[in-house]
Amino acid sequence: MKEKNNKMYVLPLILSVLIVLFAGNVMAGTCTFVNPGASATLNGVSNYINITTTAAPITKCTVTAASVLSGGSFTVGTFANNTNVSVNGTFSVAGQRNAADWILTATCRNTTATVDTCTRTALKIDSTVPVVTNCLINGVTAANGTVGSSDATFACTIKNATTCSAYWHGGTGLAFASTAASRSDMSLNAITMTTTYSVTAGATATANIKSISDDNAEVYIACSDGLNTTTGTTYTVSAEGSTKAQKQVAVNLQAGTKAFVPEVQKEQQSKTVIVVIFLLMATLVIIIVAAVYYKSKK
């Protein structure tokens, strides 16, 4: 009898669990981002959001945002239902980090449980522009100057950027990477660009200039946030005693010397001719005077 009573208690419990599970399956729906649209660009303080779901009723959806490139994340907001199957509202991205890989994730609930989650990928936030400042060459405020035989360190402070490149002016860009990259004339130190957002002073991007040719004497760093690009100031560097300008001066001086020598020689020759003529005339005068004097004695 006791066993029978136990079965009578267990049966309603099992039925209750099955009903809850069944109800959950019935309520489960698929939520969808209507706004923002695919690959949309977000900026400012008033961006529209609209999410729909096939499940009902929906009481609210909580939305978060994250970006791998910028390393940023924030809570977009919690939006109450507009109808049983949709929510909408506005949100701000002012001051958020620029990047083109932002993802919005929505978690929609009824009064007791999560009904569904959905995402909108590849969104762009365009709130700032990259900044390239405080450039140094060998630790000194960058200015046009001379680089000796040792490597020159070219560094700038970077803000609001996800990627940077170092360039020879008019040449091929050398991209910063997670590990140092190198070639014969310039090597690039590793940099984690996400720190440009979390550090107030910005991050330091560094390139080592290893050798300089006559045609590669100007360098600069350009940075991008995936939407905007900022090009830093171009600085001229040169190897001592071997720049094109110095070589050209030497060539000019040499050419000038070669042109100068014949002129000097001509001038000296003219002076010599005059002296010879003067001496000949003086000799002739002396002979004439001597002949006259000798004749007068007779």
Q: State residue 194's pLDDT score.
A: 61
Q: State residue 257's pLDDT score.
A: 39
3-state SS string for the chain: CHHHHHHHHHHHHHHHHHHHHHHHHHHCCCCEEEECCCCCEECCCCEEEEEECCCCCCCEEEEEEECCCCCCEEEEEEEEEEECCEEEEEECCCCCCCEEEEEEEEEEECCCCEEEEEEEEEEEECCCCCEEEEEEECCEECCCCCECCCCEEEEEEEECCCEEEEEECCCCEEECCCCCEECCCEEECCCCCCHHHHCCCCEEEEEEECCCECCECEEEEEEECCCCEEECCCEECCECCCCHHHHHHHHHHHHHHHHHHHHHHHHHHHHHHHHHHHHHHHHHHHHHHHHHHHHHHC
Q: State residue 31's pLDDT score.
A: 93
Q: State residue 97's pLDDT score.
A: 86
Q: State residue 250's pLDDT score.
A: 33
Q: State residue 144's pLDDT score.
A: 62
In Å, what is the CA distance from 102 to each residue of 87, 156, 159, 173, 198? Answer: 21, 27, 19, 26, 17
Q: State residue 28's pLDDT score.
A: 55
The answer to whether the beta carbons of residues 158 and 205 sit under 8 Å apart is yes
Q: State residue 108's pLDDT score.
A: 94
Q: State residue 297's pLDDT score.
A: 66
Cβ-proximal residues to 65 (8 Å cutoff; 6+ apart), any chain: 72, 73, 74, 75, 76, 96, 102, 103, 104, 105, 123
Instruction: Give per-residue pLDDT as tens, 159-211.
Output: 888 778 888 877 777 777 656 666 677 777 766 556 666 667 788 888 887 77
Cβ-proximal residues to 125 (8 Å cutoff; 6+ apart), any chain: 41, 42, 43, 67, 93, 96, 97, 98, 99, 102
Q: What stretches in the chain show pLDDT beneath 70?
A: 1-28, 144-151, 177-183, 190-199, 213-216, 238-270, 273, 297-298
Q: State residue 23's pLDDT score.
A: 38
Q: State residue 123's pLDDT score.
A: 96
Flag whether the pTM goes above 0.95. Answer: no
Average pLDDT over all residues of the chain: 75
The answer to whether the beta carbons of residues 154 and 235 sit under 8 Å apart is yes
Q: State residue 15's pLDDT score.
A: 41
Spatial CA neighbour of 45 closest among 125, 115, 119: 125
Q: State residue 160's pLDDT score.
A: 85
Q: State residue 126's pLDDT score.
A: 93
